[in-house]
Amino acid sequence: MPLHDKWKLPLKTKLYVYVSHFLSAWGDRMWSFGVGLFLIRLNPGSLRLVAIYGFSKGASVLLFAAIIGDWIDNTPRLRAARLSLVLQNMLVALCAGIVFVVVWYHETLRTVWPDEGVLTLFHALIIVVAILGDLASIARSISVERDWIVEICGRDKDLLATMTSRMRAIDLTTAILSPVATGQIVYFIALQYAAVFIAGWNLVSVFIEYFLIWKVYMEVPALKSKMFKTRKDKVVADEIEMLSMDEGIHLDDKSEEKHIPQASDIPQEETVKCIRSSRDEDDTTKEDSSVKKDECKSCLYKMFKSFILLVRGWKTYMKYDVAFAGLGLASLYMTVIGFDSITVGYAYAQGISESLLGVMMAAGSIFGIAGTFAYPRIQKRIGLERTGLFGLGFEIFSLCFCVASVFAPGSPFDLLYRTRENDISNIIVVSSVLGIDNSTINSNLTATVTMPTSIVSNLTVNETMPTSRESSDPTSYISIGLFLGGLITARFGLWIADLTITQMFLQAVVETERGIISGIQRSLNQLMDMLKFLMVILAPYPQEFGLLVLISFVFVCMGWIFYARYSYSVRGHLFHFDKLCPDKQNNNILPETGDGNRGNEEINNEPIEKNTV
């Protein structure tokens, strides 16, 4: 059949896909930005709650991503898309509703149980519901963006490339605009009402997205047919095969019995049937138990698939020279210098408004997009390996400003913060026993001890939920300005390095091992990201964030060293130092001739342009 006679996708179907993807991407970006603000406001003065959420989310994705993918493969398309869509939006709305309840009834929740037990329980509930919503979002993304889109395009590679590129453009657009809009909403209205707005957005968009994917499903016939084989089907097929084998054996037994004349043939046949039926029942019971054991083992295998792949495939991974580049890429995930909930919480604690934070995140996305556009041009000019060195070098240069922010004016960095906090807390406890007013103690501490204002403000017992900020603005914005400036510009080099290393793996790994190598790389990235959140859990206070910045910078430099090790193994050098000395270069490239002086004269007499080329 000619290509022009094949199924052509109507324009309205494309619009359905694009609008549905826009609504989903906008909601995801809005929630990912807002949840960091919510958690830092619910637990002022500490990043621990944000870090616990990030660590738990990473662990959940690492454990359940394979199970979610397997469920999608064995579920009809419309059912999987509808269920994941509804669960995602409803869970996000529920989580935002819980945030509203916690903020609105904060004083009541603090006093219900001793040691703020109810409040802690609500914090845990927010994290659990948010993680479930993230897993549902992953299910929807896999279902629609990885499976549906291929069938919608009818296996047309050109159409598939066009639609995926436009969906990627929608992702980048929402990455720029959604944080800005969310920041304005949170800044100009109260926190609890911002949570209500996000909940309302998800409740409304779920109906629109549901209608759009239903229209796409009805207009694309290929979506209604899906090739999958569940474990149940496999078990049934095995049972049928075993029964047929048993029947063949029984028939042979019957034919042999007919050749033996006996006086009581009828009773024996009935007895044999009873024995066979009981044996079949026993076999079926054993088969059911074995199937359940196999399903349990399969489920456990899928949960720990990432760890199993990492252990079993490590030798396969390290046999490639490009593995060192992959280790460098994984090292970049072990950093708090990135636009995630940790950075949002820290910047917010330093007096940056929600509105300005949204603008900063948009600026970081713009620099990242600029890196994707610059990557192919740089790669053509200087080659693939040098492009990676340039990207990582540019990122390290930009992050030097973040390192400088640790020691700049306005930085809350204080390694002795916990010691001082314990000493001052003991003074306050003693003063309360002696009947001395805490305000007098705090005023004296402020006059005698030099420390950031946020520390002193946290020493007093907060009786009310803060309406805007838990601490006063810093005395200088130089530190946070350097930090955000370096963070934004570093996105340019980060995206270049990411694209470079990804292309290296695509070119170097053989076809039969791409799956396991990709799985190992993904597991390494996820583990390093979890290690980052674990580091923040151990050092959650803004006064200790500077130490985390220094550790993160060390890991980024380690990433450059790993990549440089790979580049040196491939190219034999890192830099052309010989090109800095043209005379040495000419002497080094002399051909071996009988008359060495003659060779020198001939090469030195060549035009300079040739030597420089």
Is residue 383 within 8 A of residue 576, CB to CB? The reply is: no
Q: Helix/strand/coil (H, E, C) string of 436-473?
A: CCHHHHHHHHHHHCCCCHHHHHHHCCCCCCCCCCCCCC
**How many other CB atoms are there within 10 angstroms of residue 542's CB atom?**
26
User: What Cα–Cα distance (Å) separates residue 197 from each residue in 92, 178, 185, 478?
Assistant: 12, 14, 9, 34
Reading the block at residue 289, the tokens are 């138990």
Q: Is pLDDT above 80 for 280?
A: no
Q: Look at 113-122, 229-238, 253-262, 365-374 and tell me which has the smallest mean pLDDT.
A: 253-262
Strand (E) or helix (H) holding 177: helix 157-188
* Residue 143 pLDDT > 80: yes
The Cα 556–Cα 562 span in angstroms is 10
Number of Cβ atoms within 10 Å of the Cβ of 423: 13
What is the pLDDT, as a whole number, of residue 49? 92
**Inter-CA distances, 492 with 280, 330, 372, Å:** 67, 18, 8
pLDDT value at residue 473: 58
Q: Classify residue 145 by burial, with Cβ atoms within 10 Å: 0-12, 13-18, 19+.
A: middle
The structure's pTM equals 0.73
- CA separation for the pair 368, 490 (Å, rounded): 8
Q: What is d(CA 550, CA 557) in angstroms, rounded to the nearest whole number?
A: 11
85-104 residue pLDDT tens: 999 999 999 999 999 999 88
Question: What is the Cα–Cα distance from 286 to 235, expressed in whole angstroms?
Answer: 13
Question: At residue 6, what are phi and psi to the nearest 5 degrees?
Answer: -75, 175
Q: Give dist(CA 417, CA 349) in Å, integer.
A: 16
Q: Which residue has the higher pLDDT, 94 or 256?
A: 94
The span from the CA of 565 to the CA of 570, in Å, is 9
Angle at CA of residue 354, ends 351 and 355, nearest 5°: 115
Query: Quick check: 84 and 143 in contact, CB under 8 A?
Result: yes
Whether 478 and 391 have beta carbons less than 8 Å apart is answered as no
Looking at residue 203, what is its pLDDT? 92
d(CA 93, CA 196): 8
For residues 33 and 497, what is the distance between their CA atoms, to the nearest angstrom? 25
Would you say residue 83 has pLDDT above 70? yes
How large is the angle between the packed helices 48-73 and 11-42, nearest 10 degrees? 150
Q: Quick one: tokens of 359? A: 């603008």
Question: Residues 187-216: pLDDT tens digits?
Answer: 888 888 889 999 999 999 999 999 999 999
Mean pLDDT calculated for residue range 310-318: 82
Return the pLDDT at 258: 38
How much is the mean pLDDT over the chain? 76
Question: Sorting pLDDT into bands at 50, 70 and 90, what band is 251?
Answer: very low
- 501 — pLDDT class (breaks 50, 70, 90): very high
Q: What is the mean pLDDT of residues 137-142?
A: 88
Contact, 365 vs 172, CB < 8 A?
yes
Residue 359 has pLDDT above 50, yes or no: yes
Whether 393 has a pLDDT exceeding 60, the answer reads: yes
Asked if pLDDT for residue 610 goes beyond 80, the answer is no
Question: For residue 274, what pLDDT band results from cuts at 50, 70 and 90?
Answer: very low
Q: What pLDDT digit, counting tens, does each position of 23-67 carry?
A: 999 998 898 888 888 888 888 888 999 999 999 999 998 888 878
Give the best-scoring range by mean pLDDT among 301-310, 400-409, 457-466.
Answer: 400-409
Does residue 17 come out as left (phi exceeding 0), alpha (psi in the -120 to 50 range) or beta?
A: alpha
Extract the tokens encoding 535: 């580091």
| pLDDT-above-90 percentage for the chain | 32
Dihedral over Cα of 493, 497, 500, 503: its sign: negative
